Amino acid sequence: MKAVIMAGGEGTRLRPLTRTTPKPLVPVVRRRCIDYGLGSLARAGITEIIVTTSYKAGMIVDALEATDVGGISMLFSFERQPMGTAGGVAKTSAYLDDTFVVMSADVLADVDLEAMFEFHRRKGADATMALTTVENVSEYGVVDLDDDDRIQRFQEKPSPEEAFSNLINAGIYVLEPRVLEHVPEGEKFDFSRNLFPILLEMGQPMYGHKLDGLWMDIGRPRDLILANQRVLTEVPIPMTLHALPDGITGTVWAAADVNYGDGVVVEGPSMLESRVSLGDGARIRGSFLHPGVTVGAGAVVEDSLVLGDCTIMPHAHVTGCLIDRGCTIGEGARLARTNVGEGTTVGPKSHHEDAILGDEA
């Protein structure tokens, strides 16, 4: 079976990080977001993958061409102008001569796809949509099923009070090639907004399959941070374990060469990569520090993702932040729910909440 991975989105809600790193390549516990989907496809026996690209296509192609995915072959399709999810997939239809799976690279999906393929065959479906449940449905497409799991209706981003279900479209589809015949050539066309409502109105057999595994939308900074926390605690990833000093509790992975000052406290789920240095009395909780990060004496980093070679100066306080590579957070600065662009210096004793900082913000 073949797969199409949709990797053309700009990831605007993760800016400024996605100014330098396309969303499929953002880091989640020593891997890239797209690697979890690739692993799910490989475990399900996929042998060929077509990747549709647009934004920062060259970076994505270079990264995936250097990736060993168990012998899976890859082709790449480039969109000069965004064609929508269905339009981009239809552009590759010459290569899709049998049942195929479509997956969005905008989500983290460490899931069981074999069960979904078997469900699709058993139902004799033209289209099977992966479904998952969320607490807040207002940012997703909601799906209503009958007792046989056949899709009855859609509801796009309803308020919680109006939603008729908490089952949402998870952005993974198993499709028969004939459904692409309904996608107009050369037009922007989406699966959820355009194609699926057409198939439903025509009475085509469309079914919903509830996913088994870890699925997360990483569209916002807090989602990306939570994804790192959940993967560290829920997904088995081969990592060498090292003895940890006193003051470390919960699920914590730390490289062998981490430097710990006196009185350091680290609470999991947290990850400390190579060359991380923690000053005396530094406190880390629920955070992921990439290679070369320095946290000064008395500084606090909570529920944050700090990429490589950043410096958090003494007594700074960082909470719920996404900090790109090579940044300096000044002494005594306080940042909450703030995104910091690559190479940015934040002044000492400055205060920022719900902000976006940096030249590329």
CA angle 160, 165, 170 (to 5 degrees): 100
- The rounded distance, in Å, linking the Cα atoms of 28 and 17 is 13
pLDDT of amino acid 238: 63
- State mean pLDDT over 329-336: 97
pLDDT of amino acid 83: 84
pLDDT of amino acid 4: 94
Catalytic residue among 23, 56, 157, 188: 157
Other CB atoms within 10 Å distance of the CB of residue 334: 18
Task: State yes or no: is 56 an active-site residue.
Answer: no
- The rounded distance, in Å, linking the Cα atoms of 244 and 250 is 11
**pLDDT > 70: percent of the chain:** 97
pLDDT in tens, 276-325: 999 999 999 999 999 999 999 999 999 999 999 999 999 999 999 999 99
Other CB atoms within 10 Å distance of the CB of residue 240: 7
pLDDT of amino acid 271: 93
Domain spanning 242-357: CATH 2.160.10.10 = yes
Q: Which fold has domain 2-233?
A: Spore Coat Polysaccharide Biosynthesis Protein SpsA; Chain A (3.90.550)
**pLDDT > 90: percent of the chain:** 50
- State mean pLDDT over 47-68: 87
Domain boundaries, the chain: 2-233, 242-357
pLDDT in tens, 222-279: 999 999 999 998 876 666 666 677 888 888 989 989 999 999 999 989 999 999 999 9
Q: Which two tokens stand for residue 266?
A: 């680290």
- State mean pLDDT over 199-216: 90
pLDDT in tens, 187-204: 889 888 889 999 999 999
Q: Which two tokens stand for residue 220?
A: 């916002």
Closest CA to 52 of 20, 74, 28: 74
What stretch of H or E contains 353? strand 351-353
pLDDT in tens, 142-155: 888 899 999 998 88
What is the DSSP pairing of strand 252-254 with strand 270-272? Answer: parallel
